[in-house]
Structure 1
């Protein structure tokens, strides 16, 4: 074989090997990125579930406190008082 053909064979072999290595590296990077997306989604679902549980617990506490305490609307009470005052004055 001539020197030019040996260099050509060596060059193409190195190019093919580097291409295969690069593609393998790229696939691993994409696989890791996709896995991180799944981990991130699972974390977001966990946080959403925690927030929903906190909301439900707060709702239950609110209902329990409303049963135990007499809660009234200050604005409605003021309007009712004004209405009574107008009726007495009229």
Structure 2
């Protein structure tokens, strides 16, 4: 009976260790995936911000062209 208990205890300990190692590796993999998704989200935010800046710049250029048609523009000289 003592040998049977020892085998059961050993099997339980090995199973527990194996599950612990698997859980740790799975958690590390999951954290890596989350960090990678964060990089992708940051790239999308950066692209959207650059697009918005370009849109504002284009609008500013359109307004400038319109104002220059209506008003005379002279360059200031440093004296």
Unmatched 5+ residue regions in structure 2? 72-79
CA distance in 2, matches of 1:39, 1:7: 48
* Residue 47 of structure 2 corresponds to residue 46 of structure 1: yes
Which residue in 2 is equivalent to 1:4? 5
**Which is greater in Rg?**
1
CA distance in 1, matches of 2:70, 2:24: 68
Deviation at 1:26, TM superposition (A): 0.6
Q: Secondary structure at the match of 1:2?
A: helix
Unmatched 5+ residue regions in structure 1? 71-90
**What TM-score, normalized by structure 1, do the two folds share?**
0.74
Which residue in 1 is equivalent to 2:29? 28
Q: Render the CA deviation track for 1:63-86: whole Å, top value 9, x for unaligned.
A: 00001125xxxxxxxxxxxxxxxx
Q: Secondary structure at the match of 2:8?
A: helix
**What TM-score, normalized by structure 2, do the two folds share?**
0.84
